[in-house]
Each structure stands twice: as C-alpha cells, then as structure tokens.
Amino acid sequence: MPQSLSPKSLRTSEIADAVGVHANTVRLYEEWGFLPPIPRTDSGYRQFNEFHLDQMHFARKALNGGWPGPKIRKSALALVRCAATGELAEAWAMARDHYALVLAELDYAETAVHYIQQWLKGEVTEPLTKPLSIKQAAKRLEVSTDRLRDWERNGLLTAQRNPKNNYREYGAEEIGRLRVICALRRARFSTLSILRMLLAVEKDNSTDVRQALDTPDPEDDIQYATNQWLSTLTIHEQRAIVMIEMLEEMVKKHGNQYPVNDDQSFTDYC
C-alpha cells in the first residue's frame, strides 16, 4: 500500500492534472531545475506543496510553445530556474528584463516593416552612378557574397548579368530590394515570409506588407515562428506580462524577497 501523504501534500499526478500535463512532464521539469527540490516520503513518493504547484503553473506558462529566437529562450529558461530556487525578487526583476527583451525584438521588427512601407512609396532610394559587382554589393550591404547568391537561389531577387562576361550586376533597384531583404532578415523574419511579401507586392504595390509578412500559407510543409514573426512576438509580449503578474502573486502568497505592495506593481512598471 502506498504511504499516505499529509493533507497539505500533493502527488505527481495531482500536480500534472492541475496544470494539464502528463506526469512525466512534471518529473522532467524537476530534473531540468524548473521546480524546487521535492521532498520524498520514506517509501519514495514525491510530496509537492502549494509552492510547487504555483511554480509548475509559472514554468508551464513561460516554457510552453515555440521560441522567438535564442535570446528570449535563454531569458525565459533562466528566470524559471531562478523562481524555482525561491529567489522571487530576482525572478521578478528578470521577468521585467524578459519583457523588455521581447519589446525590443518587436520594435526591431516594426522598424523593418516601416522601412519596407517607405521603400514601396519610393521614399528610399539608392544613389548609384553605375552597377555594382557582387563583391561591391556585398561590401555595401555588409553581407557575404554567399548570402547574396543564397537569396537569389531562394527567389528573393534576380541579379542582372553583364552581357560581356555574364557576371552579376546590381543596380539601384537591386540594391534597394536587397536593403529590404537585409532589414527583414536582421529583424528575424524568415526567408519564406520575405519571399511571400515580395511576390505579393510585385502583383499589387498596395499590398498590406504587415499582413503579407505575417500570414503563412497553410500548405507550407514546415511552419516556423519567424514565418509569422509579428504575431509570434505579440503573443510572447502578452505572455511576458502574465509571467510578471504570476510572480507578483507568488511573492504575495509564498513570502517575499521583493516587497510587492499596493504602491508598486507591474502596471506601474509599464
């Protein structure tokens, strides 16, 4: 017969059911350091308490789903592990930094979209007296020649060819288009989403750039977060807000390394 637990103790299955995961997920979260140390009964059964349950909810909120880039992933993992140690003050501060990181990525993406909109209106021009070679174009754009060839293979642009030697040449139109591609790639938009947008604006110059970048084809074999980057970052922005609010509640319930009170809260931080 399993040893009975104290009234305040929860079993692995109860934690799993409360959070909506398999019991093995709870065990993995413990192994990975996402939960505080879990005491055992004499017969080896885990004894979870309310803090374990709240931390499991918090870890699930922070970690469930895809990752919008390695920096955000690393940040989320670090703050979950910090909260698991009980250092809720530090975790709360890290959660604010995490939120700021997501906002910075979103701002970077929005800036790239704004650049594209200006380009389509003809407000961004590339003054050139003569076409550039592939080496000159790569240097001007601060990318490698291999990157330019790769973008051409993926259909993002077609370089003109010198009729005398068949070498690639890049005029003002090509360099302008390449700057658009560079801006979007540096803002982490996928090659597929950029191609989708460029094909759409070629058909109709009044295309909504934001929608074209953010609406993947359901027929695509593989779906990446960067195929709908703006939506992905917006989701993570909202998730970061909830994470901060969850940590505030955990501080109030479980003790306080950071003095959350009526005078200072997440809403004040925003």
For the segment 159-179, the average pLDDT, to the nearest whole number, is 91
User: pLDDT band for position 83 (50/70/90)?
Assistant: very high
Could you give all domains of the chain from N- to C-terminal order, each with its CATH number? 1-64 (1.10.1660.10), 108-227 (1.10.1660.10)
Residues 107-133 have pLDDT tens digits of 999 999 999 998 888 887 778 789 999
**pLDDT at residue number 222:** 59
Place of tokens 């591609």: 181
Helices 23-31 and 50-63, packing angle to 10 deg: 90
Half-sphere exposure of 143 (CA within 13 A, CB side): 19
What is the spatial distance between Cα 35 and Cα 96, in angstroms, rounded to a whole number? 21
Mean pLDDT for the chain?
Answer: 87
Place of tokens 């501080």: 251
| Cβ 83 vs Cβ 36: under 8 Å | no
Measured between alpha carbons, how far is residue 221 from residues 33, 224, 237, 254 in Å?
34, 10, 27, 46
Residues 218-252 have pLDDT tens digits of 766 656 677 888 998 999 999 999 999 999 999 98
